[in-house]
Chain A
Amino acid sequence: MSLEHFKNRNVGTQNYRMLDLDPTPVTGWGQFKQVVRRSLSLELLVGLKVTLREMLKALLFGKMHTTKYPFEKLPIGPRYRAIHEMKRLLESGHYRCIGCGLCEKICPADAIRMDTHYGENQRKEVSEYTINFGRCIFCGYCAEVCPELAIVHGGRYETASEQRASFSLFEDMLTPIDQLKSQREFPGYGSVSVNADTNIKKTPLAY
């Protein structure tokens, strides 16, 4: 099916398959005949058959739809935009954020606030970083604009909380240092390539 097919919005020019419906009866006799025909063709039993079939499917073949939500969870897509994750550099374990402030600028809901300073080694460090999840609309601009893939969206969608304070902790979003090896990576500029191990070469020291 080509794209042209979907772009054609001229209703009526497409090939619709018409249902095989009889014309609406106008005379009393016609209506009577229609009622009798429909009653005697036992169309009502078709409905009963459908529900019974679904019941047997559910009971005998285990085709229940139900997910017992708090106990079972459906897998969500890898591009799902839920609570943010702050990533770390794989080599050093330092957080990736360089404090550029682009996410703060682009945030349409004004949810992100950050404060930076120069550290001891003249590297820019993030002293405060908060996302107010009471305001965040999960549009994904911050993750899109981030030049270092430091902020991405994760899959944590259960976001109810009793206190607003817990809506904004940088440390909560940051990958725990002991789980650095299992940090999930996203492809994009700045990320570690898939074949990073094979690409590593020895530094040529012998000049």
Chain B
Amino acid sequence: MMEVTYLGIIIKAILILAIISAIAGFGTYIERKVLAFMQRRLGPMHVGPYGLLQIAADGIKLFTKEDFIPQNANKLMFMVAPVITAATAFIALSAVPVFPDFTIFGIFVPSIAADVNIGILFVLGMMAAGLYGPLLAGMSQANKWGIIGAARTAAQFISYEVVTGLSLLAPIMMVGSLSLIDFNHYNETHPWMVFMQPVAFVLFLIAGFAETNRTPFDLLENEAEIIAGYATEYSGMRWGMFFIGEYANMITVSVLASIIFLGGYTDLWFIPGWLAIILKIAFMFFLMLWVRASWPHVRPDQFMWLAWKVLMPLAVINVVITGIVIMV
């Protein structure tokens, strides 16, 4: 039995990059299809069977579009910003376990690229660092819509970081560890966290939607109000990197919710663990599309009101009550 080496970690990093990019591309197709079905439309149908090759068509379009940098933009920041979004999204995924550990060719493979013992903190920190993508993009592009988008980015992400952290604090107190693997092991002996911490789950979902910039809270690029927000001046592959980053973040939040609250990759009745977590992640992803099809945007002031006057006090109360229960 051999342990994985540096080579293994490099292979895993490449796999994460490749698979998540592919899934992010496929996610756009799924999103368009699901939204279409919910509005009783067909969605993409003409490129390939059931429109499956639409992803390829979109990819070709993104790659061949003119790479455009506005005249008065801060060119360096403008070029770096999409990379920040994509990179932080992928780095966050490196500390997330998705599958059970397995053995291949006699080599024991823990299926996590970097098993840091502060997993949750690292992932949340990386997603918080992702704030700099939209922020710098909006500020560098010399466009008023971009500036508004950047301002909203700062307000939204920083506010909801607080809610995410506080809502996850209660499960962390119960598990007593920051490692996501410990969270998964906790699920093997206890009922799912969602039944013990329903309030934390709801708060985490709401904050997760806000941090991945999904529809009830996609104020950063609300096209009805501010054209495309921080992405107004972007085109081609730079815009595509924002897109991939957003979808990678959606996957990260789905994985986090599955592992922390929905039992992770422990076996479920007859379903093996790897399939169980894929189903859970798929359901969380579907939930994001479902919500997008169902609910309207919120107004920015309502959004801040929600964060600071409702969600944060609730999270604090939840933490306090959890603490009292644990002590007693």
Q: Which residues of A contact B (CB under 8 A)?
A: 35, 44, 47-48, 50-52, 54-55, 57-59, 63-66, 68
Say yes or no: A64 contacts B41, CB within 8 Å: yes
Distance of A58 Cα from B37 Cα, bound (Å) = 6
Q: Which of B40, B291, B310 contacts A57 (CB 8 A)?
A: B40
Say yes or no: A50 contacts B294, CB within 8 Å: yes
What are 13 A-B contacts defined by CB distance under 8 Å? A47-B294, A48-B291, A51-B38, A51-B294, A52-B290, A55-B34, A55-B40, A64-B42, A65-B40, A66-B40, A66-B42, A68-B42, A68-B45
- The residue of chain A having its C-beta at the shortest distance from the C-beta of B43 within the complex is A66
Contacts of B117 in A (CB 8 A): none
Q: Which of B40, B294, B310 contacts A48 (CB 8 A)?
A: B294
Contacts of A52 in B (CB 8 A): 38, 290
Contacts of B42 in A (CB 8 A): 64, 66, 68
Contacts of B294 in A (CB 8 A): 47-48, 50-51
User: B103 within 8 Å of A by Cβ?
Assistant: no
User: B269 within 8 Å of A by Cβ?
Assistant: no
Say yes or no: A64 contacts B290, CB within 8 Å: no
- The residue of chain B having its C-beta at the shortest distance from the C-beta of A53 within the complex is B38
User: B293 within 8 Å of A by Cβ?
Assistant: yes
Distance of A65 Cα from B295 Cα, bound (Å) = 21
Give the Cβ gap from A49 to chain B, nearest Cβ, in Å.
9
Say yes or no: A55 contacts B295, CB within 8 Å: no
Distance of A165 Cα from B55 Cα, bound (Å) = 42
Distance of A2 Cα from B260 Cα, bound (Å) = 64
Interface string of B6-35 (1 = CB under 8 A from A): 000000000000000000000000000010
Give the Cβ gap from B298 to chain A, nearest Cβ, in Å.
12
Give the Cβ gap from A43 to chain B, nearest Cβ, in Å.
11
Distance of A52 Cα from B290 Cα, bound (Å) = 8
- The residue of chain B having its C-beta at the shortest distance from the C-beta of A65 within the complex is B40
Say yes or no: B45 contacts A54, CB within 8 Å: no
Contacts beyond the supplied A50-B294, A54-B38, A55-B37: 5 A-B pairs with Cβ under 8 Å = A35-B310, A48-B294, A55-B40, A58-B38, A63-B40
Contacts of A63 in B (CB 8 A): 40
Interface size on B, as a range, is 10 to 19
- The residue of chain A having its C-beta at the shortest distance from the C-beta of B46 within the complex is A68
| A51 with B290, Cβ < 8 A, contacts A44-B295, A68-B45 known | yes
Contacts of B45 in A (CB 8 A): 68
Say yes or no: B41 contacts A65, CB within 8 Å: yes
Say yes or no: A58 contacts B40, CB within 8 Å: yes
Contacts of B34 in A (CB 8 A): 55
Interface set, chain B 58-88, CB cutoff 8 A to A: none
Distance of A50 Cα from B40 Cα, bound (Å) = 12
Contacts of A48 in B (CB 8 A): 290-291, 294
Give the Cβ gap from B277 to chain A, nearest Cβ, in Å.
23
Distance of A59 Cα from B291 Cα, bound (Å) = 18
Of the candidates A51, A64, A66, the one having the most CB atoms from chain B within 10 angstroms of its own CB is: A51
Distance of A57 Cα from B38 Cα, bound (Å) = 9
Give the Cβ gap from A125 to chain B, nearest Cβ, in Å.
50
Contacts of B290 in A (CB 8 A): 48, 51-52
Contacts of A68 in B (CB 8 A): 42, 45
| A54 with B39, Cβ < 8 A, contacts A48-B290, A68-B45 known | yes
Q: Which 6 A-B pairs have the closest CB atoms?
A: A47-B294, A58-B40, A51-B38, A66-B42, A51-B294, A55-B37
Contacts of A54 in B (CB 8 A): 38-40
Give the Cβ gap from B194 to chain A, nearest Cβ, in Å.
16
Give the Cβ gap from A15 to chain B, nearest Cβ, in Å.
31
Contacts of B293 in A (CB 8 A): 51
- The residue of chain A having its C-beta at the shortest distance from the C-beta of B296 within the complex is A47
Say yes or no: B295 contacts A59, CB within 8 Å: no
Give the Cβ gap from B294 to chain A, nearest Cβ, in Å.
4
Contacts of B291 in A (CB 8 A): 48
- The residue of chain A having its C-beta at the shortest distance from the C-beta of B291 within the complex is A48
Contacts of A47 in B (CB 8 A): 294-295
Give the Cβ gap from A67 to chain B, nearest Cβ, in Å.
10
Contacts of A66 in B (CB 8 A): 40-42
| A55 with B41, Cβ < 8 A, contacts A44-B295, A47-B294, A47-B295 known | no
